[in-house]
Amino acid sequence: MSRYRGPRVKVVRRLGRLPGLTRKKGKKKPGYTPQYTPTKKASQYRIRLDEKQKLRFHYGLGEQQLLRYVRTARRAKGPTGQVLLQSLEMRLDSTIFRLGMAPTIPGARQLVTHKHILVNDRVISIPGHRCEHGDAVTVRLGRAGRNNGNYSPDDRIAEPTQLASYPLSGLVDQLVDRKRIDLNMNELLVVEYYSRQA
C-alpha cells in the first residue's frame, strides 16, 4: 500500500489544518494562488473530494483502505459518518497520537512498525490494528527513547483515554466522540462521495 510521502505543508495549505499529518502551520506564500479562489464557487464534487482528502491525509490512508472503511461503516448499525470516524480513531496509530505518545499519526505509525508499542503486554507491529475497549497501550521500556514522551498531550487527548506519567501508557476506555476529534471536516460529505462507488 502506498502512503503519501510528499510535502506535508503543501497539503495543509490546500486543505486546511490537519493535526494528524503535521504540526506545522500552512502559511500562505506571497505569490501563492489557490487552485480555486473563494470568489469562484467550487463544484459539489470538488467540495466532497476535498473532505475525503482531508480524512485520507489526516489518518494517512490509501484510497482503497479508506474505501474499505466506508464499506464496513455502511454495514454497521448507526450513522455511517460517525461509525466511520470511530473506526478510524480506534486504529492503533490514531490511539497513540491521541494519547500524546507521538507528535503526528505518521510518527505514531513509525513507533508501531519499529515494535516500540505493546498492546495488552503484546508487541503489535501493525498500525491499523483495531484497539478494543479496555486495551492498555504502553511504550516498550528500553526500546524507545525517553524523548517519545516529550509531546505534550494538550488538547489531543480524547475523552476515552488516560495517560500515565512514568511508563508511557494509556487505557482505551470508550469510543471517541465526534466533538473531541480536532478535525474541521464534514464526514457526511465523505460518505456521499463514496455512495456512487458502492
Residue-wise pLDDT for 10-47, tens only, equals 888 888 878 778 777 766 666 655 555 555 788 889 99
- C-alpha–C-alpha distance, residues 49 and 104, integer Å: 23
Do 99 and 83 belong together in one domain?
no
Report percent pLDDT > 90 for the chain: 25
Query: Is 98 inside any structural domain?
Result: yes
Do 13 and 83 belong together in one domain?
yes
Q: Report helix, strand or coil for 45.
A: helix
What is the number of helices (H) and of strands (E) in the chain? 7, 5
Give the side-chain half-sphere CA count within 13 A for 131: 32
Do 138 and 121 belong together in one domain?
yes
Do 25 and 38 belong together in one domain?
yes
Kindly give the pairing relationship between strand 136-139 and strand 122-123.
unpaired
Which range among 63-67, 72-76, 144-148 shows the weakest confidence by mean pLDDT?
144-148
Query: Is 52 inside any structural domain?
Result: yes
Indicate which CATH number applies to the domain containing 145. Answer: 3.10.290.10
Number of domains in the chain: 2
Query: Is 70 inside any structural domain?
Result: yes
pTM metric for this prediction: 0.77
Do 82 and 96 belong together in one domain?
no
Kindly give the pairing relationship between strand 122-123 and strand 161-164.
unpaired
Query: Is 58 inside any structural domain?
Result: yes
Indicate which CATH number applies to the domain containing 72. Answer: 1.10.1050.10
Query: Is 3 inside any structural domain?
Result: no
| Strand ranges (E), 74-186 | 117-119, 122-123, 136-139, 161-164, 169-172
Residue-wise pLDDT for 145-196, tens only, equals 444 454 544 444 444 444 444 347 788 877 777 777 778 888 889 999 988 7
Residue type, 161: T
Range of the domain at 45: 8-87+184-197
Do 96 and 82 belong together in one domain?
no
Instruction: Write b or e for each residue in 136-169: b if 16 or more Cβ atoms lie within 10 A of its Cβ, otherwise e.
Output: ebbbeeeebeeebbebeeeebbbebbeeeeeebb
